[in-house]
Structure formats: structure tokens, C-alpha cells
Structure 1
């Protein structure tokens, strides 16, 4: 890693705590919460792609499962939204374990196409099951209730402020868990697997089991991110599980540095903020965004943070 685990977590915590001092209005709390949600999903993808070396182009499907768990479970099962988040995690982990065994035998673009098919399948189910999901029009999501509890205790916060801190805390926990995994025996085995599956197997690493573990863990991260997105928006559509959302998550990871948790979070910050900044160039937004991505891939191929850190180390 670029620096120690605790330094990275401390920097992240300080940034989360200090950024509100620069916000000119409550709107920026919403943007901050969205950044944290995207960063959480990207952190899970770092474990799968950056460390285990397994590509996924349908990871938004798990985000969709988490989001719709928070919409459907309270309405049809009477569950509290917090319990619905856990239910989404369990369903996502179980489904990842079920489909992961056959598709993780594939490699390269075959694996990418298989995961893409999974994401498309989830989107189709959410779109076509109108009775349950509301179809393309989406459905409303029950309130979490914690903000109302704080209000009863005499603490009044706006929706944007509440979700900023809630998502920031969850991101810190997710980053801490990921960094702990990186420094563990499992994390070292994952990086060995990324280097060479054949070499990893010759030293006794159970390659299929390890790839499946990474897939399940990353699916849980995506599910929690989807649940948080649904709860803070109060409304959800099948787009949360769509192909473009999957591509956005992968692009965020690659942009910041797919092997680095902090780098991937940086990628999430940039790609979440860029559309907001480029609204003045509404007609050329996608063009500018694409140009930025091409330049980064040409001049900083390892991602922003690792490439910058490597260049700073080379300086006398």
C-alpha cells in the first residue's frame, strides 16, 4: 500500500469531517453522500478486480438487489429498513456464491461477458416484474427512521446532513475492513492470485475458493451501497442495476487506481463530481469526460493515485 492502514484511514476521516466547512449550501451534503455511496461500491470492486484480478461488468446488479431489498422488504414483509439492508447483503452474498462457482472458471473477456449477463438479467427482472417492483417507473422506499429518532432526542438535522454523515461513517467502516483484508493472509493470497493463478496454486492456495470469496465480499459491498442509495433518495428505479452503472463503478476504480482503496475512492470522487462541474458544458459533458479518461489512461495507466505516488518516489 502507499502508506500505512491507519494513515489512510486518518486522512479519509479528516477529509470527511472537514469538507462540510467548505460547503456553501445543503446541496453539497447530498453530493458528498452520493460520493461516499459510489466509493463504497468501488472499494468492493478493488478487492475483486485490483487484488484478485477478476473482472466484473455487472456489479451494479448486486447494488440493485440491495436497493430493492430496502424497498420491498419493509413494504411486503414489514421489516425495518436496517434489517432490509442486512437481508440485501445476505441475498447478494448467497447469489454471488451460487453464480460465482461456474462463472469464475472463466477468464478474461469471457468472465466479463458472463458478469455482464448477470447484471442485464437482474435489470430485466426488476423492469418486468411490475407488480413487485413498479417496473421502469420504479418504486418508493421506506424511511430509515434514524433521522426521526434523532429529532425526538432533540437533535435536528436536514436530510442531506444526516445522509452525509451516515454514508461517511459506513464508508470509513468499509475502507477499514478492506485495508484489514489487504494486510491479512487472505489479502496476500489474493494478490498472489492476481500475479499468477498457476503460481498461486503451486504454493498451496485454493484458487477457486479464494476467487469466490473475493466475488462474494465485493457483492456485499455493492449491495450495501445500493441500499444506502435507495434509502437516501427515497425512490429507486431499475437503473441502479443497469449496465451504465456497472461501467461507472469499474471506471471509478480504474481511474483512481484499481489496486488501491484510497485511489479508488479518489476515482469515485472525481467521476461523481465531474458531471456536476460540467453542467455548464451540458452539450459536451460526455465528450469532456471521455477525453479526461483517455488522457489519464495514456499518461497515468496505473490510475491517478498510484501513478502520482510512483512519480514522486522517483524524484531525487
Structure 2
């Protein structure tokens, strides 16, 4: 034990015990509950399990299902914008493509919905990979304009190819079938979308806590420094771009089968802006911030429906007030406040 005794007269084991006593297990448990992996995912699952008790009719289920679909998109988009620092103004294009691939394959060619969904995700992933290689060499507003162009091209193609997509009028989508039974009704779709959302959040949290996530954070901080540290920045940018596009495509397929109708508005520029705003409002680099942003911006228009003439004005004012008061977004700011309160309570 002599070699473990320090010149100050105590061992490193005693120092470790003193540090443990000083920090306290209560505080460590509180920090774990405030973490995304510790408490965040558990809280999300709890909310999903309890929420149906408060849903009184099909309208409520429709709103909640749309919240879940939007949340799946922005959880993936948050990996790209919040963690990798790569802006995309064209993700509604991937969302619309996922919806239309499922619609066309099932309605025009009789493909089973459970086959059309992964085929759409795979096709969008291949397209995103082909786009990402040249586009992600850009940065800043150049990258934003390039991704905007991609989204606009997808929207134009969907609108113009009426023989296949129905054009501006949209097209009917057959209901999803599971084991020969058509899936109808808000309660059933609630659990389908809830399961997909939990899977998307779990996947996002695992990516963030993996070496890929650390590489993305380094890339976001300084691409030059990340390259100097040996990070293959191009590879990781392409990887997260493709992953976020595939998640958007899956959400689009779910949206198409849920509503049993698709139109080019799903791939519109305004839809892309809405997705980005959800990420920023909830808090960039926060997975559950993205979910909360989807909740707010899907729910607020429903709440403000009685103010039809001033709905957009009120919505804009609310967003401005939130961003001024909470510039880092809702979840990061509120989490920082709670952690500060916990530190003060434990001291």
C-alpha cells in the first residue's frame, strides 16, 4: 500500500472516497434523471403510455399522430443541423418522396404497404447519398441554397408528373395492411407512430453517444480542427445526411398511409422551413427539444384556429417571444435552469 500513499499523507483511495462523499449519490441520480438517455427516454415512454387517457375523439388522435410523424422527421434533422452543424432546407423533399413512393407502389402497382415503406426509405437513402457527396462540400448559406434547390426540384417533379403522382391534385393511398387486416382508426395509428418515434429517439440517442456522435460534435465545433484530429469529415457528414433523409422518408410513408392521401404540399418549401423551425425552437443538439418543437408547432395552429384572421401573426409573435427569452431553445434552457436548481439544492 506504500506506493498508493501520496506526499500529502493520504492515499488515492481515500481521496476517491472523499470525492464520492462530497458529490453525493443523490446528486448523481438527479443528474442521471435529467440526462437524455437516463430520464428523457423514460419520460417520453411514460407520456406515450398515459396520453391516450386524455384523447377523447378521433380529432385528438389525428393531431397527436401528426405530432409523432413530424417528431420523427425533426429528430433525424436535429442530428444533421444540431450535432453536425449542416443546414438543410430541403428535407420536406425527402419526406414527400417517402410518401409518394409508398403511394405509387401501393396504388399503381399493388405492392404491399409493408414492402413499399422500406423500399421508399432505401430509394431515398440512395438518392440522399448521391446528393450528399457534392452538396456537402459546401458550407454556410451556400449549403442552405443547395439543399433548398434539391427540395424545390423534388417538389416540381412531384407536381409535374401527373401521370404517376396525380399532380397538384394529389393521389389516393391504400390503407396499410398488417397480416391481411387494413389498419384504420386513430388509436391503432397512435401506437404505430408512437413505436416508430421511440425507435427514432433511441437510435438518435445511440448515435449521439457513439464515436460517430463525438465526430459530429467535433465537426460542428470546427471542421478544420476535426480534420486535423484525423476525422473523416466528409464521411460523417454524408452518413448523418443519409440517416436524416431516411428517417424523413419513413415518416412520409407513415403519413401517406395514415391520411390515405398525398399531395405535393408534403414536399413544399414551407414544410421544410417548418421542420427546421421545430428543431431551432425546441433546441438544437437536443433530441427531446426536437420532439417538443414538433409538439408546439403542430399543436399551436390547432389551438389558434379560433383566431383564423390573426393565426399566423400570433404564431409568429409566440415564436419570437420564445426565441428572445430562451435563445438556446426550450429544452436546453429549461434543463440548464433545473440543473442549476438541483446544484443549489444539493449544496
Same fold (TM > 0.5) = yes
What is the aligned partner in structure 2 of residue 131 from structure 1? 163
What is the aligned partner in structure 2 of residue 211 from structure 1? 237
| Aligned partners of 2:92 and 2:271 also within 8 Å | yes
TM (norm. structure 1) is 0.95
How far apart, in 2, do the equivalents of 1:13 and 1:86 lie? 25
1:293 aligns with 2:312: no
List 4+ stretches of structure 1 deviating above 3 A: none
Q: Which runs of 5+ in 1 are unaligned?
A: 151-156
- Structure 2 residue aligned with 1:5, among 37, 42, 67? 37
What is the aligned partner in structure 2 of residue 283 from structure 1? 309
CA shift digits 1:168-222 (9 cap, x unpaired) = 1100011111111111111111111111101111111000111000100000011
Q: Which runs of 5+ in 2 are unaligned?
A: 1-31
How far apart, in 1, do the equivalents of 2:107 and 2:38 lie? 41
Pair 1:226–1:216, CA change in 2 (3 A): same
Matches within 5 A, 1:211-290: 211-290=237-316
Report deviation, 1:82: 1.1
- Structure 2 residue aligned with 1:89, among 89, 110, 121? 121
Matches within 5 A, 1:134-213: 134-146=166-178, 149=181, 159-213=185-239
What is the aligned partner in structure 1 of residue 29 from structure 2? none
What is the aligned partner in structure 2 of residue 154 from structure 1? none
CA shift digits 1:38-62 (9 cap, x unpaired) = 0000001011001100000010000
| Aligned partners of 1:52 and 1:211 also within 8 Å | yes
- Structure 2 residue aligned with 1:303, among 326, 329, 339? 329
- Structure 1 residue aligned with 2:82, among 50, 57, 77? 50
Larger Rg over CA atoms: 2
| Aligned partners of 2:176 and 2:257 also within 8 Å | yes
| Aligned partners of 1:252 and 1:267 also within 8 Å | yes
Report deviation, 1:10: 1.2
Pair 1:20–1:148, CA change in 2 (3 A): farther
- Count of paired positions: 310
| Aligned partners of 2:173 and 2:261 also within 8 Å | yes
